[in-house]
Copies of this chain bind each other. A is one copy, B any other.
Amino acid sequence: MSNNTNPLKIAGHDYQSRLLVGTGKYKDIEQTRAAIEASGAEIVTVAIRRTNIGQNPGEPNLLDVLPPSQYTILPNTAGCYTAEDALRTCRLARELLDGHSLVKLEVLGDPKTLYPDMQATFIAAEQLVKENFQVMVYCMDDPIACKRLEEMGCVAVMPLAAPIGSGLGIQNRYNILTIVENAKVPILVDAGVGTASDAAIAMELGCDGVLMNTAIAEAKDPVLMARAMKKAIEAGREAFLAGRMPRRRYASASSPLDGTIN
């Protein structure tokens, strides 16, 4: 059996899990912890937000249940609609995480679709690379743009499957396939996965991993769905490595034709 334990390599680090998860939308911090543990994810995204002045200091902190010692914390720039806001957010994140420079860049173009503003994304990506950030970039499923982002020095390129939180699954498989074929850095599908088979399909297309949040957090049973996603990612990866059978329009018998009684 071919070895399918080759790890996912991002910015020089090896990860055994190819499932990356967000930490938003959970009922509470305990459900967050339990779901992320069940997912087996090693990279978890967080948002950077203003402290609520005067909030109860005793309140548990996200990074207490997801310690950077155990998880790779991936701060994102969710909510940023300009390159400048994204840059400031990344700089704050790096200070917050003691110089950890891996960031997920997203510069949004519109609140209805939460699709990226690719022009602003290019500007922010270029500057972040200059400032020695290791940039994982959320982008359109545009093969030309994805290649450009790789050439700029992004450490991972993360085309969307469908709108963030839509759960519609991969809308354009040809684009994802083309992006994967052209890539020299990891390609992770980011956003739009709705259920386990969507994640498996992304991996069967040859993606190096999948980043999701809503599909787990908004399932009726997030912890069980997290476990399902872990298996779906592994199943899709192994199916990709195993090499699927060819599609045929007509049937092909599984049992031998000769030796039937009559």
Contact = CB atoms under 8 A, between A and B. Distances in A.
Interface of A: 1-2, 4, 22, 24-25, 38, 47-50, 52, 76, 78-80, 85, 88-89, 92, 109-119, 122, 140, 142-145, 147-148, 162-168, 171-175, 178, 194-197, 200-201, 204, 213-215, 217-225, 227-232, 234-239, 241-262
| Copies of this subunit | 4
A246 to B, nearest CB: 7
A115 B89 contact: no
B49 A259 contact: yes
A131 to B, nearest CB: 17
A54 B235 CA distance: 43
Contacts of A232: 200, 231-232, 235-236, 239
Given A167-B244, A231-B234, A262-B85, A224 B172 contact: no
Contact of A229 (B143, B221, B235, B249): B235
